[in-house]
Amino acid sequence: MYSRNVGPGGFNPGGFGGFSGPVPRDLVALLAVVFATFTLQFFAATALLPALLRLTPLAWQSGFVWQLATYPFIGFGGPSLWFLLELLILFWFGRDVFLGLRRRHFWRLILWSAVGAALVAVAVNALTVLSGGGSGPADFQLMQGQRMLLAIFIAAFATANGDATILLFFILPIRARWFLGLEILFVFMGFLGTRDLAGFLGITAAVGLTYFYIRSSGSMRGGRKTFREMRLRLERWWIQKKLEQARRKRGLRVIPGEGQKGPRDPNVKPGPWVH
């Protein structure tokens, strides 16, 4: 894959599609962990560790809640060249995402999207099992390990650099923004083969959460807007609602202060302390 024509305000490409440019140590560490955990599954003495860290129905059946956060870092799949190709693509997109977001937002994005997607997938799996649908070995298969990381990084790049051009399969020029829909289409094709509804909805949720994070946090190139502003707005709205409930319940008359909108109560005369 190759990207060009990255517009202003998007991620700093840093040589996307090649090996030139800076290589973030965080990304190298991430790829090393994914590869190491992928390798551990093929040895009897160490196979239990990745099995306990992958996302499974035990997350809600037996309280293995750590799986909600650990599963993206556990390499998944069989020993094939396809796994190495996934790591290569993960490196290409991951480097651009890291250089655009910087360390703090990079890891926040992974945790925000991966944990949110896991909660959706686990809820779907629980509802399926409790309704009599049963649980199978293909559950969560579509969203395990590097597959979840790929979904997050590609969605982040596509959101930040919608006008960039990517060569799909190194041949077809595709606008980056189209990859948001293509990701969901590809995973739907995987769903048709595996019937992994939890994994399909988990990837879909991850794409949506990544899009929301990039757009709402203004975090391209370390932007200053964060979710703290959203939390403050929500707290302000909640306090206003509580004050309105208290006023109606106790018959209080609220006098708008300086800078507040709304008419004053005509039956209340402000004292000298009201400015």
Collect the ranges in the chain with pLDDT lower than 50. 1-9, 12-19, 219-227, 273-275
The residues near 33 (Cβ < 8 Å, ≥ 6 apart) are 73
Q: Which of 185, 51, 67, 181 is nearest to 121 (CA)?
A: 67
Q: Which of 166, 160, 158, 125 is nearest to 142 (CA)?
A: 125
- Report whether 210 contacts 150 (CB < 8 A): no
- Give the integer Cα–Cα distance in Å for 117 and 119: 5
Which pLDDT score, from 0 to 100, does residue 13 have?
A: 41
- Report whether 35 contacts 45 (CB < 8 A): no
Domain 3-225 has CATH 1.20.1540.10: yes
Residue 113, CA distances (Å) to 82, 132, 228, 242 in order: 24, 29, 17, 32
SS3 174: strand
Hey, what amino acid is at 97? V
pLDDT in tens, 72-120: 999 998 888 889 989 998 998 899 889 888 888 999 999 999 999 999 9
Rounded to a whole number of angstroms, the CA Rg of the chain reads: 24
- Give the integer Cα–Cα distance in Å for 2 and 95: 13
State the span(s) of the chain assigned CATH 1.20.1540.10: 3-225
Which pLDDT score, from 0 to 100, does residue 178 have?
A: 75
The residues near 223 (Cβ < 8 Å, ≥ 6 apart) are 217
DSSP state of 274: -
Which pLDDT score, from 0 to 100, does residue 247 have?
A: 75
- Record the tokens describing residue 4, joined without a space: 């060009």
